Structure 1
Amino acid sequence: MTKIHTIKDVAKKANVSIATVSRVINDLGGYGAATKEKVLNAIQELNYQPNGLARSLINKKSETIAVLFPSVSNMFSSSILKGVEDLVHQRGSSVIVCNTASKGEKTLKYLKVLQEKRIDGIIFVSEVITDEYYEFLSNMNVPIVLVSTESYRYSLPYVKVNDRHAAYSATEYLIEKGHRRIGMVSGNPSDMIAGQPRMEGFKDALKSHGIQVEEKSIVTSRGFSFEDGLQGLMRLMSSTTDLTAVFLASDEMAVGALSAAYQMGIKVPDDLSIIGYDNLPLGEMSIPPLTTVAQPLEEMGEKAASMLFKMLETGETAESRIIGHSIIERQSVKEIK
């Protein structure tokens, strides 16, 4: 049986006190370079592993990856996180999850904490990279991969679906089912990541099929939540009464729209067809089950983690990836003959 060594064994082998070993492990100072080298050599020779910090002092790696989400409470984030964790754990590392709540001050606070913890790399999800973020991230000198976002200003690798194209596909699917009077409940139009691109994809599809774009047929929201979809559909139907189909910019919004339709006595899909965006598990559980355009979120998380490890191993920047989307047909869209 392999002997499990203690801090006392390390102190004895290095010929220093237990207190000195503890100070070296916790990087507290108060010792010379020669003493530090003796302690680290003893730790390595004895394979002493008190915690991740001791290992990081030896191999200069914390074996920890950080993932920053604007929200950790939704299925979108949990699906991406599952993909990240599966790959990271396979590689023998751990994951720290940070909930930034889309607030710059909180994001910077997390970045400072992560710098102190000497994390090996960062996966940055669904948030705009500001100048302030980029400056801090550059000073951290660790690899960064973006997921479901990209930066036009800074050369950072990303993994994402083409949101404009995916929204085009969702809208075109409705058109191919015979719908001509189509509305949209969008996210925030000032959101350059998912708000504006999905709105533009919706408009592009209508125009390419010779359907006039009416601004009253597009309702914008603060975000992509259930409540945004519920309130958004109510506002849309109060201003436009002859719609036969609606594209919702997220599955959570689409489920909110299903609830609104129920409250208004609108039958889906008999009276109104609804299509969502994301392909979250929530869509399969809705009544009726939700037709949606799928982002392969777990695959995106796994791919981002794989890219991060490759950057750690090679020191080279990874190549960005656009992941394909697809239409998942269920029962919330009716074909008009």
Structure 2
Amino acid sequence: MTIRDIARECNVGLGTVSRVLNGQPGVRPSTREKVQSIIDKYGFVLNQNAKLLKEQDRHTIFIFVKGTSSILLNSLLETIQGRFETLPYTANVVVLDEYDNEAKRACRIFYEQKPLGMIFLGGSPDVYKDDFAKVQVPCVIISNQAHSVVNRNLSSVSTDDARGAEEAAEFLIKNGHTNIGVIGGELESSELSRRRLASFLCAMRRHGLAFNKETHFVHSKYSLEGGASAARTLMKSARGITAIFTMSDVMAIGAMRSLADMGLSVPGDISIIGFDGIPLAEFCCPRLATIRQKREMLVEEGLNALLESIEQQKPSVHTLLPFEFIEGESVKDIRPAL
């Protein structure tokens, strides 16, 4: 027996049955008595769990975390969850592999559960542009740019990582490094990695420096293990390098472990610079040089964009935020003494 069956037997609408079940006004006494008699006849009990789930869906915001090993994204998630304690919404977290299609997963969840909004921590809007264009609720990507996607629901807030990669290159070059290796994400599936590499190489060209991508670039996952493995490969293929730029701090820390295992010191033998500015970078020995993303600002701007879209129907925005350069102790000045 369902609400629909009761409505059919009483020859009333579903809304009338719902009001009787929930003790709401707006039903004539004779109709209420008729509906209640059928409810009693069949011993019908409203499924409060289903009702609760439906109500929760109306106040649920899904958070998609792209990558199981990203310390930066997990840090952003922790900050967001702290903010949700003061908001009238429920957060559901979905953790995806680095190479998963987060937009397709989001579309499926939308059709199944109808959430109020979505947050993407990480993501590849350029690669999955068509799927992101189909997301039908207010959403925001935090830590990557999405201005190339045609979807009025989709905002983005990210660090100016192109300028950050350029500054990392400039710092290495300023300290006398001209033969530099790069460890980054899979270029075909990561627009972020392509953008950072392109900007890094732009700075190299500006100084008249060559870069052989076949030998001097190694891709890996954004993880400790990925960075460690990539460093071993890079040291074999890129002979004579004096420095490594890694596209995340976790890659850099993994690379430092491999370099130590090979008997190489940082920065004595090899200089290294990371990206993200995670707290762990401050406790490395030596302290890691890095491009620090302003995590609190990323979360604040991202949540503001999402909530203004949900609550005030404001249009999507795409915001680039400044970064902080951390000189650290992992880059050696190898310029000849004057």
How would you bin the TM-score normalised by the shorter chain?
0.7 to 0.9
Change (3 A) 1:108 1:181: closer
Shift of 1:94: 2.2
Change (3 A) 1:38 1:186: same
Counterpart amino acid of 2:251? M
**Matched residue SS, 2:115:** coil
Mapping for residues 308-327 of structure 1, pairs under 5 Å: 308-327=306-325
2:84 to 83, 88, 96: 88
Change (3 A) 1:55 1:309: farther
Q: Alpha carbon RMSD of aligned pairs, Å?
A: 3.0
State how far apart, in whole Å, the 1-side matches of 2:155 and 2:101 are. Answer: 24
Shift of 1:208: 1.5
**Matched residue SS, 2:85:** helix
CA contact (8 A) 1:148 1:160 kept: yes
Could you say which residue in structure 2 is the equivalent of 1:280?
A: 278
Could you say which residue in structure 2 is the equivalent of 1:289?
A: 287
Change (3 A) 1:312 1:51: farther
Task: Tell me the alpha carbon deviations over residues 66-94 of structure 1, each in whole angstroms, 9 at most, x when there is no partner.
Answer: 11122244312211112322333222322
Listed as ranges, the gaps of 5+ residues in structure 1 are 1-18, 24-29, 44-49
1:34 to 3, 16, 23: 16
CA contact (8 A) 1:53 1:62 kept: no
Change (3 A) 1:215 1:137: closer
Task: Tell me the alpha carbon deviations over residues 87-122 of structure 1, each in whole angstroms, 9 at most, x when there is no partner.
Answer: 332223221110122465786456434544332100
State how far apart, in whole Å, the 2-side matches of 1:241 and 1:178 are. Answer: 17
**Matched residue SS, 1:157:** strand
Task: Tell me the alpha carbon deviations over residues 180-238 of structure 1, each in whole angstroms, 9 at most, x when there is no partner.
Answer: 22221222121342221111111111111232333355222142222222122222222
CA contact (8 A) 1:122 1:143 kept: yes
**Matched residue SS, 1:198:** helix
Report the number of matched residues.
Answer: 301
2:117 to 121, 133, 155: 121
Larger radius of gyration: 2
Q: Does 1:238 align with 2:236?
A: yes
Change (3 A) 1:285 1:133: same
Counterpart amino acid of 1:124? F
Task: Tell me the alpha carbon deviations over residues 291-311 of structure 1, each in whole angstroms, 9 at most, x when there is no partner.
Answer: 111122343133212211111
Shift of 1:54: 4.3
State how far apart, in whole Å, the 2-side matches of 1:105 and 1:322 are. Answer: 24
Shift of 1:315: 1.0
1:147 to 122, 127, 142: 142
Counterpart amino acid of 2:138? P
Could you say which residue in structure 2 is the equivalent of 1:168?
A: 166
CA contact (8 A) 2:159 2:321 kept: yes
Mapping for residues 302-313 of structure 1, pairs under 5 Å: 302-313=300-311
Change (3 A) 1:231 1:105: closer
TM-score, normalised with respect to structure 2: 0.78
Comparing 286-295 with 231-240, greater Cα deviation is found at 231-240
Listed as ranges, the gaps of 5+ residues in structure 2 are 7-11, 26-47
State how far apart, in whole Å, the 2-side matches of 1:52 and 1:32 are. Answer: 16
CA contact (8 A) 1:291 1:329 kept: yes
CA contact (8 A) 1:84 1:304 kept: no
**Matched residue SS, 2:274:** strand
Could you say which residue in structure 1 is the equivalent of 2:269?
A: 271
Change (3 A) 1:205 1:34: same
Could you say which residue in structure 1 is the equivalent of 2:186?
A: 188
Change (3 A) 1:105 1:171: closer
CA contact (8 A) 1:65 1:122 kept: yes
State how far apart, in whole Å, the 2-side matches of 1:109 and 1:98 are. Answer: 9
State how far apart, in whole Å, the 1-side matches of 2:100 and 2:189 are. Answer: 15
CA contact (8 A) 2:57 2:113 kept: no
Task: Tell me the alpha carbon deviations over residues 15-54 of structure 1, each in whole angstroms, 9 at most, x when there is no partner.
Answer: xxxx97xx9xxxxxx97212324555749xxxxxx78954
Counterpart amino acid of 2:208? G
CA contact (8 A) 2:275 2:292 kept: yes
State how far apart, in whole Å, the 1-side matches of 2:69 and 2:238 are. Answer: 33
CA contact (8 A) 1:183 1:218 kept: yes
State how far apart, in whole Å, the 2-side matches of 1:95 and 1:126 are. Answer: 17
Comparing 208-217 with 102-111, greater Cα deviation is found at 102-111
CA contact (8 A) 1:226 1:255 kept: yes
Shift of 1:146: 1.4
Could you say which residue in structure 1 is the equivalent of 2:9?
A: none
Change (3 A) 1:89 1:306: farther
TM-score, normalised with respect to structure 1: 0.78
CA contact (8 A) 1:149 1:160 kept: yes
